[in-house]
């Protein structure tokens, strides 16, 4: 089965930590952007992140590598959507890939006033 990334971005020098690796916070932000895109699309409107957990960084990502973020819904509540995200890096000058990050995000859908609203209209 083929899947499409929600985000695809290249790691740049400003995304590095003081030790010369890609900053974990940057990876977390990219996963949040991808998960938020899916939550807003499914919920057809504003989706606010209310929790993030289960982060892991099983491999390092190098400067210039391309990050693809893949997301899937793992749970739908009345007003919330839980999304698992994972980031796969592809080496800059080749095709080798590896899992570099993963985490879980919970979003609550909001109406125009910012109040929670149902995921699915009844």
Residues 9, 14: Cα–Cα separation, whole Å: 13
The two structure tokens encoding residue 39: 């939550």
Residues 7, 37: Cα–Cα separation, whole Å: 9
- Residue 122: the pLDDT is 56
- At residue 2 the predicted structure's pLDDT band, cuts being 50, 70 and 90, is low
Q: How far is CA 27 from the centre of its chain?
A: 8
Q: Which domains does the chain have, with CATH numbers?
A: 7-109 (3.10.129.10)
Residues 9, 52: Cα–Cα separation, whole Å: 21
Closest CA relative to residue 108, chosen from 41, 56, 39: 39
pTM: 0.92
Lowest average pLDDT, out of 45-49, 63-67, 96-100, 117-121, goes to: 117-121
Residues 30, 102: Cα–Cα separation, whole Å: 11
């Amino acid at each position: 089965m083929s899947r499409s990334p929600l985000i695809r971005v290249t790691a740049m020098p400003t995304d590095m930590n003081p030790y010369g690796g890609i900053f974990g916070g940057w990876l977390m932000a990219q996963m949040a952007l991808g998960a938020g895109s899916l939550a807003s699309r499914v919920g057809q409107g504003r989706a606010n992140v209310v929790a993030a957990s289960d982060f892991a960084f099983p491999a390092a990502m190098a400067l210039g590598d391309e990050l693809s973020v893949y997301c899937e819904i793992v749970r739908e509540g009345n007003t919330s959507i839980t999304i698992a995200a994972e980031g796969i890096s592809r080496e800059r000058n080749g095709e080798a890939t590896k899992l570099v990050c993963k985490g879980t995000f919970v979003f609550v859908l909001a109406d125009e006033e910012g109040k929670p609203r149902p995921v699915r209209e009844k």
